[in-house]
Structure 1
């Protein structure tokens, strides 16, 4: 049987609750998600995603999106493609 090690980490209460809700929707525990992350780091020999500082334009787009600014709602994919001229 594999030995287990305890990990203790601090994070924001709100962030933890939101992320745990996502894991629950996916049918997994926080422990399972952390183990998946660790296995991916081991397999890839690094983080399984890129870590970058967004440029000013990207940051503004994030802010606009969070504020609901400049969003276009579509009934369905066909409506979206029509609005895009595709």
Structure 2
């Protein structure tokens, strides 16, 4: 058997329970899943997934600002047809 060392991770109980249930459905335990993560990180020489800020674009910021001010508010609509006409205007 390969020598192994213990490691302690701190996380919220709900996160741990959800992850444990997911990994169990994949036939893995938390220890195995964590080991897979580290192996993939080493193979990729970084995190094995993209890490970025998901920030709205300028158009969305303008729409959010207008909505907060109650500007450019349309609707409610009486039908889907009315909504689609407004969207396509």
- Please state which band the TM-score falls in when normalised by the shorter chain: 0.5 to 0.7
What is residue 12 of structure 2 aligned with on the other side?
12
1:6-54, Cα deviation, whole Å (9 max, x unpaired): 1111101111101100001111111110110111011111110011111
- Shift of residue 56 of structure 1? 2.7
Which position in structure 2 is the counterpart of 1:31?
31
Moved over 6 A (4+): none
Q: CA RMSD in A?
A: 1.7
Give the TM-score of the pair, scaled to structure 2.
Answer: 0.59
Is the partner of 2:51 in helix, strand or coil?
coil
Note the residue ranges of structure 1 that are not aligned, 5 or more in a row: 61-86
Task: Tell me the distance in 1 between the aligned counterparts of 2:2 and 2:44.
Answer: 22
TM-score after normalising by structure 1: 0.61
Structure 2 runs not aligned, ≥5 long: 61-89
Aligned length: 58
Cα distance between partner residues in 1 of 2:32 and 2:25: 13
- Is the radius of gyration larger for structure 1 or structure 2? 2
Distance 2:43 2:18 in 1: 27
